[in-house]
A = this chain, B = another copy of it.
């Protein structure tokens, strides 16, 4: 049994961490912090957890949460995490940072996020299907939601050195934008609509590129265009992949099967994935179709942005860092319809 703390527990990823950790047999949720809500019941904010959690938000010093917790999830905005993480590391504390602060190489981070990095550190990139070094480590940068779905859709082809170019056209549920009401998330603006944004400049492009380029150093560029759709949860990524040669499904299927062999949370499916089969679960469903007349493959991946795209993946990382079964606390089917 380990004690777990969540720094920044009032948002959607904080709530989702608690929803999932509650069912984890080796975890005690020891603390959740929120400066704004300190002293308030966690379940006043996360009403769906009523009856499961007798916990108040606290406004804790890093020193104190480090003392009380074996594993700490940091769920604070980008740029804030770098002030907190260095104080948490050391003395066996395991840290999983859900912000972007430690996902990218320092120079790339500074360019993409437009801020100077105060305290660069090496972190494992917590996409465990590609990064076995997560196991046993003490510090993980949990991937972004879009990158998770995008990278997983294309990684087997990248690893085989077959990709000429990729365009990721992603469609996300609006919960990815957070628990705070904004003009974009205003129901009359989002319902019956779809909003493309940052058509060529979204920050997650760098993260996707970094990981695919690690698999294939000859890959020089990728494109990424995100959209929000009238859905609370989920990211569907349509990866338009141009390969170096014309390929058939018989060339490609074995690559995917082999690359994801024994990866428990990747489901290769016949047909085309959709959000409804992964909602609430940690799965990434992947399907594809080969364009017979072109050297193009269209791969579609579906994840729940709050689970495999954030909190579930963070727990998957925790499981490997702590030596638990990778599936512990996460082996639950989606809720459908």
- The interface stretch among A65-73, A83-91, A115-123, A183-191 is A183-191
Closest to A298 in B: B199
Using a Cβ–Cβ cut-off of 8 Å, how many residues does chain A contribute to the interface with B?
A: 80
Closest to A292 in B: B200
- The interface stretch among A45-53, A127-135, A314-322 is A45-53
Max chain B Cβ within 10 angstroms of own Cβ: one of A199, A275, A293: A199
Closest to A223 in B: B296
Interface of chain A residues 89 through 118 with chain B (CB within 8 A): none
Could you tell me the distance in whole angstroms from the C-beta of A274 to the nearest C-beta in chain B?
5
**Interface secondary structure of A, over-half rule:** loop
Contact status B231-A192, CB under 8 Å: yes
A131 to B227, CA, bound (A): 32
A148 within 8 A of B: no
Contact of A230 among B23, B189, B231 (CB under 8 A): B231
Closest to A283 in B: B51
Closest to A169 in B: B169
Interface of chain A residues 31 through 55 with chain B (CB within 8 A): 46-52
B-chain residues with CB within 8 Å of residue A267 when the two chains form the complex = 50-51
B-chain residues with CB within 8 Å of residue A283 when the two chains form the complex = 51
A5 within 8 A of B: no
B-chain residues with CB within 8 Å of residue A289 when the two chains form the complex = 199-201
B-chain residues with CB within 8 Å of residue A234 when the two chains form the complex = 192-194
A294 within 8 A of B: yes
Known: A185-B187, A187-B185, A333-B48. A223 touches B192 (CB 8 A): no
B-chain residues with CB within 8 Å of residue A46 when the two chains form the complex = 336
Contact status A194-B175, CB under 8 Å: no
A80 to B15, CA, bound (A): 40
Closest CB pairs A-B (n = 3): A188-B337, A48-B334, A200-B291
30 inter-chain pairs at a CB distance below 8 angstroms, sorted by A residue, are: A12-B188, A15-B336, A48-B278, A48-B279, A48-B333, A51-B267, A169-B225, A171-B194, A171-B227, A179-B186, A185-B186, A191-B191, A191-B232, A192-B230, A192-B233, A193-B275, A194-B274, A196-B238, A196-B274, A199-B289, A199-B298, A200-B289, A200-B291, A221-B294, A227-B238, A229-B229, A279-B335, A280-B280, A280-B335, A335-B335
